[in-house]
Amino acid sequence: MLVRAKAPLRVSFAGGGTDVSPYPELHGGCVLNATIDNFAFGSLRPRRDSTVRLQSADLDLEVEFDSGADVCFDGKLDLVKAALRKLGALNSHGFDIFLHSDAPPGSGLGSSSALMVALVGLVKEYKGFAMDDYEIAEAAYTIERQEMAISGGRQDQYASAFGGFNFIEFEKDRTIVNPLRIRRDTVNELGHNLLLFYTGRTRRSDQIIDDQTERLKTNVEDTVGALAQQKDLAVVMKNLLLTNRLDQFGELLDASWQTKKKLSPRITTPAIDEFYEEARKKGALGGKITGAGGGGFMMFYCEFEKRHLVAAQLRKMGAVQMEFAFETTGLQTWRAQAAVAV
């Protein structure tokens, strides 16, 4: 028996930062995002002995330990170890786990959280746990943000677990996922006109998020005001999607980006600013970084007749285009026939 899982990555349109504590607890937050057909993958193969072997293709790491031994946190796949311990997967039975993502850590597509959602899904399927999408997302969030104290928000785990276009609200004691019923022609046109480019630079989002959080706690006016504007933009852009007003939606991506840059001076870089300026010159109506900032992927909305001009200019500057389509399904787990590992 072989257990498989895959969880989709996401693009975020507006509201990013309002899902990061302590903002939701103080003011309530909301984000607008959608999952794409790039995934985090996991496989679990039971063993006949008590050995646990973990392998990450993205980090080119492999660790091995006894299932009954105390977990050693030594900087090697510690997040995976913490998840297995938290979920009660470590007992007398061993297994091999293999993990891989379509995008590298620090890409801004929520790949790290999607990988955690996939891992929770693996254990759920392996152990036969009854967990709904909310419980899976919250477990992934708890392991990342509380158990391992990795800075960040909640949107990535919930987007990956649920899938599709979602307007997600964050309150003090709960998270509410509102799936959006976007018209098929709207989804097609949006995908037709969007570009996704990798800047060639990954980043440590925790440093940016920690700076943003400190600026919020010290009541820096730009940051506090920008977070409120991000919430407003998420609501307006949700309504534009629902009513098929995509050119206005694309233009507000620019407003979302200009507002996002006020959250922390670390969000943009000279290289990112140059990519953005050149894309706008070639006809992009708007765009933004898809994650916390500092690097990773950039997304641009263009009139379709100018899309190829924007793409050519960004490729000329060294950015790498990622072809994608929107994904409507969240976490998926299944079982396959395979020999038990020795």
Catalytic residues: 156
Handedness of CA 185, 187, 190, 193 (dihedral sign): negative
Question: How many other CB atoms sit within 10 Å of the CB of residue 41?
Answer: 18
CB-based burial of residue 5 (10 Å sphere; 0-12 exposed, 13-18 middle, 19+ buried)? buried
The SS3 assignment for 170 reads: strand
Backbone angles phi, psi at 160, to 5 degrees: -70, -40
Distance, in Å, from the CA atom of 254 to the CA atom of 335, rounded to the nearest integer, reads 44
Answer for the pair 180, 31: CB distance below 8 angstroms, yes or no.
Answer: no
Residue 36, C-beta contacts closer than 8 angstroms, at least 6 positions apart: 8, 9, 10, 11, 109, 196, 324, 325, 326, 327
The SS3 assignment for 215 reads: helix
Distance, in Å, from the CA atom of 169 to the CA atom of 155, rounded to the nearest integer, reads 9
Distance, in Å, from the CA atom of 318 to the CA atom of 140, rounded to the nearest integer, reads 34
What length does the chain have? Answer: 342
Give the 3-state DSSP-derived string for 89-129, with helices as H, strands as E and coil as C. Answer: CCCCCCEEEEEEECCCCCCCCCHHHHHHHHHHHHHHHHHCC
